[in-house]
Every structure is written in structure tokens, then in C-alpha cells.
Amino acid sequence: MKQARVFLLVLTILITSVLVSCAPGRGQAAGGWSGTAFHDGIIYSGTQDGRIVAVNATTRDLVWSRPMITEAAGGLGCGPAVVAAAIYTTPVATDGLVYVGTYTAQGGRMYALGMTDGEIIWEYPRGGAYMGAIVGDPVISDDTLYVGSSDGKVHALALSTFTRRWESERLADKLWTSPVVVGDTLYVTTFDGVIYALSAETGATLDRVFELEAGFATSPVVHGRIIYAGSFDGHLYAIDIDSAETVWRFPQGGAAGGWFWADPLVHEGVVYAGSLDGRLYLIDAETGDRVGDFDAGSPFVSSPVIMDDVLIVADQSGDVYGFELSSALQDRAVETVIARLGAEVESPFCASEGFAYIRADNTLYVVDIQARRIDWQSSLNAREEQG
């Protein structure tokens, strides 16, 4: 009997260890890293508990909050009846509507919410169906919304009729990047290291513009006839659309110390690219030569933005920097720190009318760029936001 007890005890310990060890091993749950959008004095963002919120930038009041809930979780049916979706997409606010995509274990949906009240005006797909879960931001061009999804396809939706215009063939295992529209062509980067050109009209694959051994981590950024895209191999690539040739690769020698995860920004002949190695690189857009760099010591997960000739970047640790575009970046860390948020910045952010609107963890920070301080902040947690 004693032997059996010992056996059972050991067995229980083993099983418990497996279950406990597997829990942290599964990593982080999908929480979403929706960025901020600013339109007509209102800040729109997704929250970590699956809501879209609209906050008045002047009065700082919550205008509305819309939970993006979804049906019962799968598995063994022991999950909650409804679960909150994760929001990775940054809301797109235009023409009286706010467009946002959702991410759940079952799949994703595109929603259009009323700009004034957050009411759901339409959803796609309808009738309880899902498309692949959505991570990359939707892009609107003319009357069409284009979005990539975890089913590996690009979906094009007609905004006038709220119906599907087309869906592309399956381009990859999953598409977590955003497409970019140039004229009548759509360019898409994939984790397989391919850049596709699709017809914006029909979704037909026109060409495999470029192929790389490693995958692309960023969405394509098109400037002129050049596509700029960061890779998991620690390089940033400039690819000529017409010749499908690599114009340059940065760094030219060995790889950077981390992935180029955040979309690069191209402005007046300079590419601004943050890397997960904690450096912001300035690269000559034409030659690929290094113009300068700045070592923040913390990864750059979100993309830089430019407002009034000031380059604004935020590193993952929550330090926000501002650089006069005319200045050299080296050794200016102390001078250039605008604000220390003390919270992780992993979301894209926007800047307008002298302020940067940054969602860090689950708090909205409004940073006054000229005054170099946090003007105000507001928790986006459901329980605290009313206070």
C-alpha cells in the first residue's frame, strides 16, 4: 500500500509539473497591440481587453467604448460563453466610420463602427462566420478596404455595399502584415520572404516581385518605385519594383543585432528604421549607406513618426525621443528624451497638432512634444477609464 501511495504521489507531482510547466511555456496570450488614430479631435484605439475606445483629446473624456466580443470559445466547451477579441489593428477613422479588425482563436472579422457612437454598422463576414484572424492594419483606397489575415489571403471589401469584392489566393501560411496600394497594384510581404504584386481590381496574383530566403517582418513601404521592407534576417531591403532587383541591403555586411520589426519610415531621402537591437538607423534611401544611428538600448517595436520636422520614436521600455530632422542622432539621447512613460510601447502611434498619442500597456499617453512632457494620461482599463 505504501508503494502505491508513493507511486501515486510521484505521479501526481509529475502530472502537475507538466501542466504547470506548460502554462508559462505557452507564452503570452493574445492581448493585442492596437495603435492610436487621431481624427477630428478624437483619439481612437483598441484596448487590451478587446474594446475600441474613442477619447476626446481636448476634454479627455471617454466618448464611447465598444467591446468586440465573439462567440463561445472552442475546445471542450468549458470556456466562457463569449470572449473578448484581441485587437491588433490600429483603427482607421474616415468618412464617419471607424474600421477595425479582430483576432480570436476562431478567426477574425472586419468591423465598421459609427464614429460618433461606436455602434457596429457592419461586419464581415456576416452570419457568425469568420475569416482568418486579423493582425495587419487594413488599408483603404478609393471605395475598397484591403486587409491580410491569418488564412494567408488578402481580402478586399467594397465599402459602398459592405460586401466582399475579392479574396486573393492563399499567399502564405498567414498574412500578419498590411498590404500597400500603389496605383492599381497591391504589394504584400509574407513571412515566407516573398513580395507579391496583386491586381487591386481583381486580386489576381500579377507577379512574385521578390523572393528572399528569410521572411519579411514588416509591411512593405513604397516610396517612388522602391519597396522598403525589414526582414527576420536582421536586414532592411530596398527592392526596385520594376526590375525586381535588390537596390541595397542594410547593413551591407553582417546582420543587425535584431529583426527589423517596425515598418520603416521614408522621408526626404532618408529611411528611418528601428530595430529590435535597440538602434534607430538612418539610411540613405538611394544608396543604402548609413547616415547615422541612435542607440536607445531598448528594442524599437513601433515605427517612428514625423511631425513638424521632428522625428518621434518610442522604444519598448517606454522612452519617447524627439529629434530635429536636421540634427545628427548620435550621442543625443539625454537631450532628446521627451518623456519616460514607464510602460511598454509595442503599438504604432500617431502624432498631430503638437502631441503624440501613444498607447503603452493599457494606458493612453498624450505627450506634448514641444513642452517635452506627458500632458495627460488615461487608463484604458474598463474599470478605471470612467475615473
Binding residues for another protein, total number by CB under 8 A: 50
* 130 lies in the site for another protein, by CB under 8 A: no
Binding to another protein by CB under 8 A, coded x per residue (else -) over 306-345, reads: ----------------------------------------
Exposure of 246 by Cβ count < 10 A (0-12 exposed, 13-18 middle, 19+ buried)?
A: middle
End-to-end CA distance of the chain: 61
Q: How far apart are CA 332 and CA 310, in angstroms?
A: 14
State which of residues 137, 151, 319, 346 lies at the interface with another protein (CB under 8 A).
346
Phi/psi-derived region of residue 331, left when phi > 0, alpha when psi is between -120 and 50, beta in every other case:
left
Residue entry with cell 483603404: 140
Q: How far apart are CA 10 and CA 32, in angstroms?
A: 39
CB 205 to another protein: min, Å:
19
**Interface with another protein (CB under 8 A), residue from 137, 151, 233, 315:** 233
- The C-alpha cell at 349 is 502611434
Q: Which residues face 312 on adjacent strands?
A: 305, 322
Q: Are 74 and 387 in contact (CB under 8 A)?
A: no
Residues 17-56 that bind another protein (CB under 8 A): 17-18, 21-22, 24-31, 33
Instruction: Decide whether 192 or 368 has the Cβ nearer to another protein.
Output: 192
Of 173, 207, 211, 308, the one binding another protein (CB under 8 A) is 173
- Which stretch, 6-14, 197-205, 324-332, 358-366, contacts another protein (CB under 8 A)? 6-14
Q: How many CB atoms lie within 10 A of CB 245?
A: 10
Q: How far apart are CA 279 and CA 313, in angstroms?
A: 11
**Nearest approach, Cβ of 275 to another protein (angstroms)?**
10
Amino acid 95 reads: D
80 touches another protein (CB under 8 A): no
* Residue 6 touching another protein (CB under 8 A): yes
The x, y and z cell numbers of residue 301, run together, are: 517595436
* Sole binder of another protein in the list 62, 63, 69, 105 (CB under 8 A): 105
| 167 CB neighbour count, 10 Å cutoff | 15
Q: Of the candidates 301, 310, 314, 339, which one interacts with another protein according to CB under 8 A?
A: 301
The footprint of another protein (CB under 8 A) covers: 1, 3-4, 6-8, 10-11, 14-15, 17-18, 21-22, 24-31, 33, 74-76, 86, 88, 103, 105, 135, 173, 176, 191-192, 213-215, 232-234, 255, 257-259, 261, 276, 299, 301, 346
